[in-house]
A and B are shown apart, each in its own frame.
Chain A
Amino acid sequence: MENLLTAEDIAAGVDRLALAITEKNRGQPIALVGIRSRGDEVAERVLTLLSAEDHWELSFGVLDISLYRDDFEHLHENPLLQESDITFPVEGAHIILVDDVLFTGRTIRAALDALSDYGRPAKVELAVLIDRGHREMPIQPDYVGIVLDTRRLDHVLVSLEGTDGKDQVKIVAKPSP
């Protein structure tokens, strides 16, 4: 197991996300929606950086996508639910979904379905802290913090201060068959 990314790398990734989002949307009302778990923490950090700008209407929400997964049949137990918390009107909003890692794209597919049950947004974009490739769905990010080169069977383990106590990213390689 190698300790791939440090707290500094992660902070730089969050900075890049905030910068890219600011350049494209400065002054336009946007809503950041973090996907549980850890996407919410990334979204919070980005929000903190964006809040430094004056006169910018920013909304924030948290989405749990457990009920929208497509793999219930393969699970021994259904995943534990957490509350979603979306208090701003989704109807007509410009939403930026935020997650920690983009992999197959299935989580984002589920998040889009979940989001649409709150209303019809004017626009939905995707921001991810880490893009590790290997998509199984036609889903691409609009904002990326860090691009990681991984193999399909690798596990990318993201720890974040608020959720796990420290900032780091590890890759656990599966032995090749």
Chain B
Amino acid sequence: MARKDLLDIAALDREEIDLLLDQSIPFKELFTRSVKKVPALKGKSVLMLFYEASTRTHSSFEVAAKRLSADVTNFDVAHSSITKGESVRETVETLQAMRTDYIIVRHGRSGLPGMIAKQTKASVINAGDGAHAHPTQALLDAFTIKEKFPDPTGRKVLIIGDILHSRVARSTSTILKKLGVDVAYLGPGSLVPRTGPENIRRFTDYKEAMVWQPDIVYLLRVQMERQDVQFFPSLREYHRLYGISDARLEEIRKRGLYLMHPGPVNRGVELCDAVMDYERSLINDQVENGIAVRMAVLYWLKPGSTQE
């Protein structure tokens, strides 16, 4: 059964997740052809509604939609009447009148894409809302992990960083738990919430976390812009405690661990320059896979269906 919207990974059952991950494979295969575009969404319109700055996610969705032959319009929030006080509701009514088929939303407020989804017949895809969810990031992370571990059950992923403010941590650990992956968090006590998903180990010490023997180290971006209060003393201090330094990279290389990061990276904070050349870094795979996964999502959703 196809859905109208993709708002949250938690809402998807295992079967739907497996379907989306499997369907991403033939889309990725298209990238090796001389023509990377297919006509599946010819004549359909995709509207990008980004209330928060984003280069990577925005362009990834745009490339995905264009490779499906959809027409993409950027609703330029910064220059629109939103800055003149138009409410989100009024904006959505305007978009509804434009008869767009898909709306891709990023907003600083949790739950806003869901609100928009209720008001429109268009398929709404959540491209990140506050600290709530980022479902396509979760799918691309799971896809990237499955490329290395076709059966990820029992594999161990250590997520390092600002768990508290991170929708990536939330969505990605949700999907990984659904796939039977063992997840642990590592970060400053102030940034690793005590509440939240069960069965997730919590570390504050890097060495202790390595004793846990992860297969993959997943670095979160330190989001300077999302923190109202200081949660750790300084960036240098963060790098010293949790960053991947040259010495730590050497250990990671010896153990043969894979490294992931949702981008964009803060060099010298989450990781040192040498990580970019690490042979088991999956950061570029994540970028490429993001397009394939988003194509699979666009292809799977059915706009205008009656289902909520």
Which of A81, A117, A119 is packed against the most chain B CB atoms within 10 Å? A81
CB of A23 within 8 Å of the partner chain: no
**By the criterion CB–CB under 8 Å, are A81 and B27 in contact?**
yes
Q: How large is the interface on B (under 10, 10 to 19, 20 to 34, 35 or more residues)?
A: 10 to 19
Interface bits B261-282 vs A (CB < 8 Å: 1, else 0) = 0000000000000000000000
Residue in A78, A82, A119 whose beta carbon sits within 8 Å of that of B2 in the complex: A78
Q: Which residues of A contact B39 (CB under 8 A)?
A: 67-68, 113
A34 to B206, CA, bound (A): 53
State the CA gap A123–B39 with chains docked (Å). 23
**Please, how many angstroms separate the alpha-carbon atoms of A119 and B35 in the complex?**
8
Residue A118 lies at the interface, judged by CB distance under 8 Å to chain B? yes
Asked if B38 CB lies within 8 Å of chain A CBs, one says: yes
What total of chain A residues lie within 8 Å of the partner, measured CB to CB? Answer: 20
Task: Name the residue on B nearest A82 (C-beta).
Answer: B26
Interface 0/1 of A44-78, CB less than 8 Å to B: 00000000000000000000101111001000111
Chain B interface, DSSP helix/strand/loop, else mixed = loop
Whole-angstrom CA separation of A80 from B68 in the bound complex: 15
* Bound Cα distance from A144 to B23, whole angstroms: 33
A117→B33 contact, CB < 8 A:
yes
Closest Cβ of chain A to B297, distance in Å, is 12
**A79 to nearest B CB, angstroms?**
10
Bound Cα distance from A77 to B301, whole angstroms:
9
- Contact for A67 among B1, B19, B38, B302, CB less than 8 A: B38
| A8–B39 alpha-carbon span in the complex (Å) | 40
A83 near B25 with CB under 8 A, answer: yes
B contact residues vs A (CB 8 Å cutoff): 1-2, 19, 23, 25-27, 29, 33-35, 37-40, 68, 299-300, 302
Further 7 A-B residue pairs, CB within 8 A, beyond A66-B40, A78-B40, A114-B38: A76-B2, A77-B1, A77-B2, A81-B299, A117-B33, A117-B35, A117-B38
Closest 8 CB pairs of A and B: A117-B35, A67-B38, A81-B26, A67-B40, A83-B26, A77-B2, A83-B29, A81-B23
What are some 5 contacts across the A-B interface (CB < 8 A)? A67-B299, A72-B40, A77-B2, A117-B35, A118-B35
